[in-house]
């Protein structure tokens, strides 16, 4: 990697250039370390990478519209970050536990979470639309960086399971997702210190999308976020997050080393093309030129070019994926009304893994309390008119 | 069928938005998610995609107009649907009633919409503020999912605490002198109540040791926590009066309506003191604390004044001018001040100053609060001139155009409390002045004239005076003089 400085408005004055295999024009460059990982991918996986990005992008757009139509309280767009997420999640095993932020929609769909389940929390009908264990994908962490401690704690548990003779745990990897904004949180520091001290199998994955709401990444960190890993005593790598192949290769290589080894950090340099959330207006703090510049580095466009060049996809395939995405979006629109609010009782059932006396007591009390209202309405609506 | 897209909350807790520009016109055909309008919220400009396909029937809100969340924006006629008026009505109705209810509330049923707006406002008027998403009607009503509407149904009973099967647990020691009320109560019920009672583990342990049931106690600690003292006090009481039955915890009174004086307002509102309110507060505090006030009152027959007033009102030269009792009172006050110089003065500790002119302050209630504009050199005005000055000054004050200069330098003031339906009061003096006259309401009252009770126009005049330099005698003579003029306006003829 060269040490040249590339000054731009969006954080690329950092000295270390991110690893890139696939250029925005769709040309693939050779890299001694990483190319072998890409070459090992079979054709169906290569096509799935494309499909997962395109489908999520369509779901993302539908969810944004649904929010604008009053059907969701909030939506968090992943637009522009599909490559970083698709490449990384594909490099993991299905059994690896993922601790997401609230923007890892590509990863969630990849793990079999449905769009409806994904939207549940944003429609405020439940705290989470899925059970983490069913998908090895934790609930979305709304409190910035809280998931980092959960991830490190989970890895400590896995390490102990392994010490107790659990063979599966010996091979386990935990993916800890965070963003450039969260990188300033103390939780990230603590999670990295513990991961390093205990040599835990945590792959730290920061998507540097250049903006922490309205604060540029260059304000959060004067140097590359990847460099911070050195301070904790483990390796950090920068990758072009808009290059799905490099994202895959870097994650695959790092994952090998994390498994049974110690933590690593990937800084995925990408760009949030949309707003921070639907409650944000990015035109207030960034220029149209900047957005345009990053739009030209779109992860889907460049990957599509490359796949077509290799003859891996054709119009029929692209149309089929489009149709699949469109159907999924239409289903989502239809089914959004079917999401029913979680009952308070159900909330009690998910507090502890095992039956818990106090929770049972409180649940019974609540059931009785609620029943008090039902009796009132059965009595003929004798309200205080 | 005609679908209505209502303004959603596109941010987090926004209440309204301005329609900046429409991207479609009536008659256009739109598809789901087509951008139809740009709105500006408190946070940002937002383009709204429409949730329906069909033909645009109506743009409900004009560009530049600001509407509340939940208000209808645009109506779309579904493709291939009929277009009769009934359909349109149905669409509007479902939008209105759904907007009144929260998700999961059976949105769209008129009954639940009515329940949600039981505070007295109609379902329609509550649509803007308590909009929720329709969860079962299938209609996108365009107002983000909200928390459930607050329950307003009264509780009919306390939760039965005897719910939990704890037969697997060892029996708890029966509290010494257990309250009789607890006898019929299942043991496990008490156990639950102890869990619910707010007490720290050491306090619970103490209670157990002393044989006090924590749930009986009303905590005196922070946020109702049962404290060590509460437990010890109860233990003492029990020792003193064994077998005493503690009162059942009383049910808090059921709130009427939603329990507020004004259902639409917050329970308490914090209003920052600024502007006129701030100045008023500073002035009255200073004057009330530093000036010993004395007040006098007098009831007078102003029938003749009212006759003159009626005459002046017919006079073309008074057209457009306010010919009120206050005009005559002002004239009377100027006349009386000439005869009672002590009244028109200011106190300066070592001396006081008699003013040989009247800068007449007139207290006026304005939208901004109380202001006291001043008619300078009022003694130089003709009756008509004074009428013109009072008219101008009241108009300026009501419209908030009174300048600070117009409020300076008053020597003597009037406060007209008659329009409030009042007869008398004890106003606080304006800063730097020694007298303020309060004018009561003019009303027909039985009055004795020449030994006969007859209906006359009667008014109470009075006021407050700086008692340091105005004795009761001064105040009395002055008010009597003012009264004389109002009783016999002919005195004004010099």
Q: Do A62 and B256 touch (CB under 8 A)?
A: no
Residue A262: partners with Cβ closer than 8 Å, 6 or more residues away: A195, A196, A199, A200, A201, A234
Euclidean distance between CA atoms B369 and B365, whole angstroms: 6
Residue B209: partners with Cβ closer than 8 Å, 6 or more residues away: none
Euclidean distance between CA atoms B3 and A236, whole angstroms: 54
Q: Do A341 and B46 touch (CB under 8 A)?
A: no
The Cβ of residue A52 has, within 10 Å, a number of other Cβ atoms equal to 22
Does the predicted interface ipTM exceed a cut of 0.90? no
Sequence-separated contacts (24+) of A225-229 with Cβ below 8 Å:
A225/A180, A225/A183, A225/A265, A225/A267, A226/A16, A226/A265, A226/A266, A226/A267, A227/A16, A228/A183, A228/A192, A228/A265, A229/A192, A229/A204, A229/A264, A229/A265
Query: Is the pLDDT higher at B65 or at B166?
Result: B65
Q: Does A379 touch chain B (CB under 8 A)?
A: yes
**Which of B156, B187, B195, B257 should be substituted to probe chain A, the one whose Cβ sees the most A Cβ atoms within 10 Å?**
B156
pLDDT of B360-405, one tens digit each? 999 888 777 788 889 999 999 999 999 999 988 888 887 777 776 7
As beta bridge partners, residue B345 has B354
Task: Measure the N-to-C terminal CA separation of chain A; round to a whole number of Å.
Answer: 77
Tell me the residues of chain B between 170 and 199 that have a Cβ less than 8 Å away from chain A: 192, 195-196
pLDDT of B307-350, one tens digit each? 999 999 888 888 888 898 999 999 999 999 999 999 999 999 99
Residue of A nearest to B51 (CA): A69
pLDDT of B283-306, one tens digit each? 899 999 999 999 999 999 999 999
pTM: 0.56
Which residues of B are annotated as catalytic?
467
Q: Does A380 touch chain B (CB under 8 A)?
A: no
Q: Say yes or no to pLDDT of B415 above 50.
A: yes
Residue of A nearest to B190 (CA): A361
Q: Say yes or no to pLDDT of B57 above 80.
A: yes
Q: Do B164 and A364 touch (CB under 8 A)?
A: yes
Tell me the residues of chain A between 308 and 337 that have a Cβ less than 8 Å away from chain B: 333, 337
pLDDT of A45-66, one tens digit each? 999 999 999 999 999 999 999 9
Residue of B nearest to A276 (CA): B11
Q: Which residue among A65, A284, A339 places its CB closest to the CB of B33?
A: A65
DSSP of B188-226: HHHHHHHHHS-B-HHHHHHHHHHT--GGG----SGGG-B
Q: Say yes or no to pLDDT of B443 above 70.
A: yes
- Chain A partners of B159 at a C-beta cutoff of 8 Å? 365, 368-369, 372
DSSP of A280-303: --GGGTS-HHHHHHHHTT-HHHHH
Q: Tokens in use for B116?
A: 């949600």
* Amino acid A111: pLDDT: 97
Q: Which residues of chain A have pLDDT under 50?
A: 1-14, 377-385
* Amino acid B172: pLDDT: 45
Q: Do B164 and A360 touch (CB under 8 A)?
A: yes
Q: Do B192 and A125 touch (CB under 8 A)?
A: no
* Contact (Cβ atoms closer than 8 angstroms) between residue A177 and residue A100: yes
Min Cα distance B47 → chain A (Å) is: 8
């Amino acid at each position: 990697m060269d040490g040249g400085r590339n000054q731009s408005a969006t954080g690329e004055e950092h000295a270390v250039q991110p690893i890139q295999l696939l250029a925005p024009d769709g040309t693939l460059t050779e890299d001694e370390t990483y190319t072998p990982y890409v070459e090992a991918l079979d054709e169906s996986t290569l096509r799935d990478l494309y499909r997962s990005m395109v489908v999520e992008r369509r779901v993302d757009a539908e969810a944004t519209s649904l929010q604008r139509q009053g059907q969701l309280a909030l939506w968090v767009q992943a637009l522009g970050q599909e490559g970083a997420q698709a490449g990384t999640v594909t490099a993991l095993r299905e059994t690896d536990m993922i601790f997401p932020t609230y923007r890892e929609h590509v990863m969630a769909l990849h793990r079999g979470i449905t769009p409806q389940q994904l939207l549940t929390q944003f429609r405020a009908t439940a705290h989470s639309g899925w059970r983490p264990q069913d998908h090895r994908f934790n609930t979305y962490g709304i409190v910035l960086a809280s998931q980092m401690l959960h991830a490190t704690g989970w890895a400590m548990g896995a390490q102990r399971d392994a010490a107790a003779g659990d063979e599966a745990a010996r091979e386990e990897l935990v993916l800890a997702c965070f963003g450039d904004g969260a990188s300033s949180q103390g939780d990230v520091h603590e999670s990295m210190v513990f991961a390093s001290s205990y040599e835990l199998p945590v792959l730290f994955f920061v998507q540097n999308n250049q903006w922490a709401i309205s604060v540029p990444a260059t304000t959060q960190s004067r140097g590359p976020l990847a460099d911070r890993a050195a301070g904790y005593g483990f390796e950090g790598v920068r990758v072009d997050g808009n290059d799905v192949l490099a994202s895959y290769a870097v994650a695959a290589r790092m994952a090998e080393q994390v498994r049974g080894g110690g933590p690593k950090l990937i800084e995925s340099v990408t760009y949030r093309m949309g707003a921070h959330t639907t409650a944000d207006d990015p035109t207030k703090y960034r220029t149209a030129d900047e957005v345009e510049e990053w739009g030209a580095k779109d992860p889907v466009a460049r990957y599509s070019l490359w796949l077509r060049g290799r003859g891996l996809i054709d119009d029929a395939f692209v149309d089929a994926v489009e149709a699949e995405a469109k159907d999924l979006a239409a289903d989502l629109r239809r089914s959004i009304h079917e999401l029913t609010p979680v009952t308070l009782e159900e909330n009690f059932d998910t507090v502890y893994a095992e039956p818990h006396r106090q929770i049972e007591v409180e649940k019974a009390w609540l059931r009785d309390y609620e029943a008090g209202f039902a009796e009132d309405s059965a009595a003929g609506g004798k309200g205080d008119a | 069928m005609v679908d209505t897209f209502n303004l959603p909350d596109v941010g987090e807790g926004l209440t309204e938005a301005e329609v900046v520009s429409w991207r479609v016109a009536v008659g256009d055909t739109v598809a789901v998610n087509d951008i139809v309008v740009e709105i500006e919220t408190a946070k940002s400009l937002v383009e709204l995609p429409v949730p329906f396909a069909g033909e645009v029937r109506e743009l409900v809100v004009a560009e530049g107009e600001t509407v509340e969340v939940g208000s209808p924006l645009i109506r779309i006629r579904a493709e291939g649907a009929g277009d009769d008026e009934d359909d349109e009505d149905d669409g509007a109705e479902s939008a209105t009633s759904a907007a009144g209810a929260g998700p999961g509330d059976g949105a769209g049923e008129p009954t639940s919409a009515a329940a949600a707006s039981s505070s007295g406002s109609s379902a329609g008027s509550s649509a803007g503020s308590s909009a929720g998403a329709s969860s079962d009607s299938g209609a996108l009503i365009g107002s983000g999912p909200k928390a459930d509407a607050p329950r307003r149904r009264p509780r009919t009973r306390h939760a039965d605490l005897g719910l939990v099967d704890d037969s697997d647990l060892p029996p708890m020691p029966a509290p010494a002198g257990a309250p009789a009320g607890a006898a019929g109560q299942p043991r496990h019920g008490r156990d639950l109540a102890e869990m619910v009672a707010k007490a720290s583990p050491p306090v619970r342990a103490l209670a157990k040791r002393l044989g006090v049931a924590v749930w009986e106690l009303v905590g005196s600690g922070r946020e109702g926590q049962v404290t060590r003292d509460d437990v010890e006090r109860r233990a003492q009481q029990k020792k003193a009066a064994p077998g005493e039955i503690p009162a059942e915890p009383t049910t808090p009174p059921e709130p009427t309506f939603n329990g507020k004086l004004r259902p639409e307002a917050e329970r308490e509102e914090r209003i920052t003191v600024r502007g006129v309110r701030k100045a008023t507060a500073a002035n009255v505090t200073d004057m009330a604390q530093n000036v010993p006030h004395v007040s006098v009152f007098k009831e007078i027959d102003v029938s003749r004044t009212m006759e003159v007033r009626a005459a002046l009102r017919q006079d073309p030269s008074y057209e457009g001018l306010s010919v009120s009792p206050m005009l005559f009172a002002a004239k009377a006050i100027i006349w009386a001040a000439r005869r009672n110089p002590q009244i028109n003065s200011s106190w300066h500790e070592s001396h006081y100053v008699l003013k040989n002119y009247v800068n007449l302050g007139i207290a006026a209630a304005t939208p901004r609060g109380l202001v006291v504009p001043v008619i300078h050199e009022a003694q130089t005005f003709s009756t008509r001139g004074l009428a013109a000055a009072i008219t101008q000054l009241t108009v300026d004050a009501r419209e908030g155009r009174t300048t600070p200069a117009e409020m300076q330098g008053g020597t003597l003031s009037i406060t007209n409390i008659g329009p409030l339906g009042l007869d008398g009061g004890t106003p606080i003096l304006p800063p730097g002045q020694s007298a303020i006259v309060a004018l009561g309401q003019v009303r027909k009252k039985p009055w004795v004239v020449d030994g006969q009770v007859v209906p006359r126009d009667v008014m109470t005049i009075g006021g407050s005076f700086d008692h340091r330099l105005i004795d009761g005698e001064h105040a009395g003579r002055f008010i009597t003089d003012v009264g004389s003029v109002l009783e016999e306006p002919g005195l004004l003829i010099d």
